[in-house]
Structure 1
Amino acid sequence: MANTRTITTLQSSAILVSTIIGVGVLPLPLFAVRAGDAGAPLVTLLGAIVGFCGLLLISLLGMRFPNKSIVEYSEDIIGKWPSLIGSLAIIAFFAILTSLAAREFGEVVVTSVLKNTPLEVTVIVMLLLAAVSTRNNLVTFSYIHLFYFPFLLGPALLIVALSLKNADVINLQPIWGNSQAHMLPGIITIASLFQGSFVMTIVIPAMQKPNKSIKASFVAMCIAGGMYVIIVIAAVGVFGAEEIKNLLWPTLELAKATSLPANILERMDAAFLAVWVTAVFTTLFSSYYLTLRFISHLFGSKDHNMFSFFLLPFVFIMAVLPQNILQMYEIIEEIGRIGLLVTIGYPALLFIITHIRGKRGDRVEEQPLDTDH
């Protein structure tokens, strides 16, 4: 049964971190600098806080309905047809998010590494890898994330720490930026990079202790949000805000400008790209898996595997639709902002209605009493 409670708090945090840290790491400093210039770290921090608000709502709803995902308990809260519209919006959004992440991955690979390889080949390979990996249950899903978690976090922290030795503090002043006019759109764009945390809605029903979901969410957001803020601090500190505006992928340039002590490895970009590919896979894996689980819940099916390859052509077609890399990033920013209505607005609406109506799901006994006699 899907509700077998096997996922620990640590696994939940690992799933969230490896889902959040993904393809958006490369253009992250550019998004932040466009919004806040030298105040880019502050914009990133505020974006992370907005992202955490959405995750907190999901966790609170999950604690009230510990045996159901959002597709299932939304029907209890607002009725069948309104919840159907909400569920379709979630499925459509995460399918689009998966396709855009795959396209962004493809663009980086064909630009930086495999320059003679067709874009479509890199995109379909990553999507196929994600589609095959999703043909597992939630326990295997959690173990895959837990396995990649240290490989994702360790090297990334090392590269950022080494790059900080080249940073100049003057580039980070004033900390609130030179102009606050574009800060709000920037905060919303950065917050959209945390939307993968929506995966928590399918994780909570399988957690051993659903009431620890807020703790897992807080720890994960501190790690992922902290990582994003440190990356932006390092990039702005090394290059300065004006230089970053001329770079498409500042984080990759930061890795190129970083070397190991004693020049053991003069450029870290190859090592960074290896870590980044892992991050992209775990993010794609989560968004694809989430979409499949929601589709199977919608159709009342207990097996999501039957949809894994059915969804693939639709996601691939959406991935290759943007005409070029600039149009792709325009779409990513626009879809990300609209998506906040799905990942924060919709849970907020459900949360308010569930409190007004006093709705609550079945309680969970985390440590069942001995009832054999």
Structure 2
Amino acid sequence: MKTYRDITTIQATAILISTIIGVGVLPLPLFAVRAAETGAPMATLVAMLVAFAGLFLVTKLGMRFPQVSFVRLSELIVGRWIAAVGSASLIVFFSVLTALAAREFGTVVVTSVLKNTPIEVTVVVMLLLALLSARADINAFAYMHLFYLPIVLFPAIVIVVLSLKNSNILYLLPVFGNERPRFLDGVSTITALFQGYFVMSLVIPHMQRPRKAMLASVFGIAIAGGLYLLTVVAVVAVFGPMETQNLLWPTLELAKTTALPANVLERLDAAFLSIWVTAVFTTLMSSYYLAVNGLKELFRLHDHKLFTFFLLPIIFAIAMAPSNVLHLYEIIKIVGRIGLLLTIVYPGLLLAVAAIRGIRGKEA
């Protein structure tokens, strides 16, 4: 497999961060509070550690085979036909993930901003943006993530930090929460929001220094997870666990209660939504790219552009399948948990088999 090693460690980190931070930032505090009430930050932290375990396995696997894609390395480890089943499952998973994220985006937009716009319009516009961006090569893909990261990350941190002036520390006690029987259920749901980390399997074969992939992974998950954790802390500290459970998108409500110093802007929800739209775009671009690139590798083609338009009607049909927002989130929970088997267990099994058989790729 011929690769172009142009992606730096900083670009790899940026890709990971902007892929993880996405549409899930809005309902994240609700999922965490339903799982552990005041222990919502602890549930988020545990989910972050579980996600890092999956990222660690994906990164170690990529570093072991630094010159080939995930599809090709799985074929080297377990054979072409067995690997084809796993690769096809991953392609289907990321296609469905793209569809559900696009539908969630459309739901938020038509509910909060464009109330007279059909949801089909907002969904298809975002999918077209992701499609056109996914047609780019890996270098343009990396540059887009690096360009948009500061636009998403720094304003989001500022908004969350400013909201803490309205916080009440008592809302965060006890630290481990009260609803422990639902703790693990909530952790699995939150962990599913981090599954964009699988993009590292796409990035590593193109890195200038694949040996530094683990460094990029550690910084990426720490920054993205840190923002998620800070968001949950801020929401729970401002609204309290009981009130948070009554909010469909607590993070958006947090932005509405936040103002700039001297009341330059009394509400930051409009600014936050513009940042969130950018974050959704980068996440959808990555999941779409993972799906079409996986198809390219599976069918041994040299270009992935053929599949970008092919997947669009399929993804759009899946996106419009949920009947309402509650049905949508139920499907997201189920798909996310199934995805944990593909993004954590499957790479772990491949890494174990490769270690037992002593298989290792050529050094970059």
Normalising by structure 2, report the TM-score: 0.99
Question: What is the alpha-carbon distance in structure 2 between the residues aligned to residue 34 and residue 149 of structure 1?
Answer: 30
* Alignment check: 8 A CA contact 1:35 1:43 kept: yes
* Cα deviation 1:167-224 (Å, max 9, x = unaligned): 0000000010013110101111111011011010010000000010100000001100
d(CA) in 1 for partners of 2:119 and 2:148?
26
Quote the residue 2:101 is aligned against. 101
Indicate the residue corresponding to 2:336 in structure 1: 336
Instruction: Tell me how far apart the structure 2 counterparts of residues 281 and 321 of structure 1 sit (CA, whole Å).
Output: 21
Say whether the 8 Å CA contact 1:30–1:249 is kept in structure 2.
yes
Residue 60 of structure 2: aligned partner: 60
SS at match of 1:182: helix
2:248 is matched with which residue?
Answer: 248
Q: Quote the offset at 1:302 in angstroms.
A: 1.1
Q: Does 1:157 align with 2:162?
A: no
Match of 1:369 in 2: none
1:129–1:2 Cα change, 3 Å = farther
Measure, in 1, the Cα distance between the counterparts of 2:290 and 2:90: 9
CA contact (8 A) 1:16 1:197 kept: yes
Alignment of 1:318-333 (within 5 A): 318-333=318-333
Paired amino acid for 2:144: I
Counterpart CA distance in 2 for 1:209 and 1:4 is 12
Pairwise mapping of residues 228-247 of structure 1 onto structure 2 (< 5 A)?
Answer: 228-247=228-247
Relative to 1, partners in 2 of residues 1:249 and 1:133: Cα closer, same or farther, differing over 3 Å? same
Residues 112-123 of structure 1 mapped to structure 2, 5 A cutoff: 112-123=112-123
1:112-152 deviation per Cα after TM superposition (whole angstroms, max 9, x unaligned): 00000000000000000110111110000000000001001
Tell me by how many angstroms 1:165 deviates: 0.6
Secondary structure at the aligned position of 2:55 is classed as: helix
Q: Deviations over 1:234-281 (max 9, x none)?
A: 000000000010000000000000000111000000000000000000
CA distance in structure 2 between the aligned counterparts of 1:69 and 1:217, rounded to whole angstroms: 17
* Paired amino acid for 1:214: M
1:39 equivalent in alignment to 2:35: no
Map residues 248-287 of structure 1 onto 2, 5 A cutoff. 248-287=248-287
Three-state SS of the structure 1 residue aligned to 2:310 is coil
Matches within 5 A, 1:213-224: 213-224=213-224
User: AA paired with 1:135?
Assistant: R
Partner of 2:148: 148
Distance (whole Å) between structure 2 residues aligned to residue 285 and residue 53 of structure 1: 24
Match of 1:63, SS? helix
Instruction: Tell me, in whole angstroms, the C-alpha distance in 2 between the residues paired with 1:179 and 1:307.
Output: 45
Corresponding position: 1:25 with 2:18: no
Identity fraction in percent:
59
Equivalent residues, number:
364
Shift of residue 299, structure 1, vs aligned partner:
0.5
Deviation at 1:2?
4.9
Partner of 2:348: 348
* CA distance in 2 between partners of 1:2 and 1:274 (Å): 38
Which residues of structure 2 form unaligned runs of 5+? Answer: none
Paired letter, 1:203 = V
Tell me, yes or no, if the aligned pair for 1:20 and 1:194 is still in contact at 8 Å. yes
3-state secondary structure, aligned to 1:181? helix
Corresponding position of 1:368: none
CA RMSD of aligned residues (A): 0.7
Query: For 2:96 and 2:54, how far apart are their aligned partners in 1?
Result: 19
Relative to total residues, which structure has the larger helix share, 1 or 2?
A: 2
Equivalent position of 1:136 in the other structure: 136
Aligned to 1:367: none
Secondary structure of the residue aligned to 1:67 is coil
**How many Å separate the matches in 1 of 2:231 and 2:69?**
33
Pairs within 5 Å for 1:75-90: 75-90=75-90
Equivalent in the alignment of 1:310: 310
Shift of 1:363: 1.1
- Residue in 2 aligned with 1:295? 295
From the superposition, tell whether residues 123 and 2 of structure 1 become closer, same or farther in structure 2 (CA, over 3 Å): farther
Partner Cα separation in structure 2 for residue 136 and residue 17 of structure 1: 19
Distance 1:216 1:32 in 2: 27
Separation in 1, partners of 2:274, 2:363: 43
For 2:262 and 2:64, locate their aligned partners in 1 and report how far apart those are by CA, in whole Å.
55
User: 1:70 Cα deviation (Å)?
Assistant: 1.1
| CA contact 1:58–1:201 (8 Å) conserved in 2 | yes
CA contact (8 A) 1:2 1:206 kept: no
SS at match of 1:117: coil
Counterpart Cα distance in 1 of 2:71 and 2:94? 13
Find the counterpart in structure 2 of residue 10 from structure 1.
10
The 4+ residue runs of structure 1 with deviation greater than 6 A are: none
* Secondary structure in structure 1 of the residue aligned to 2:280: helix
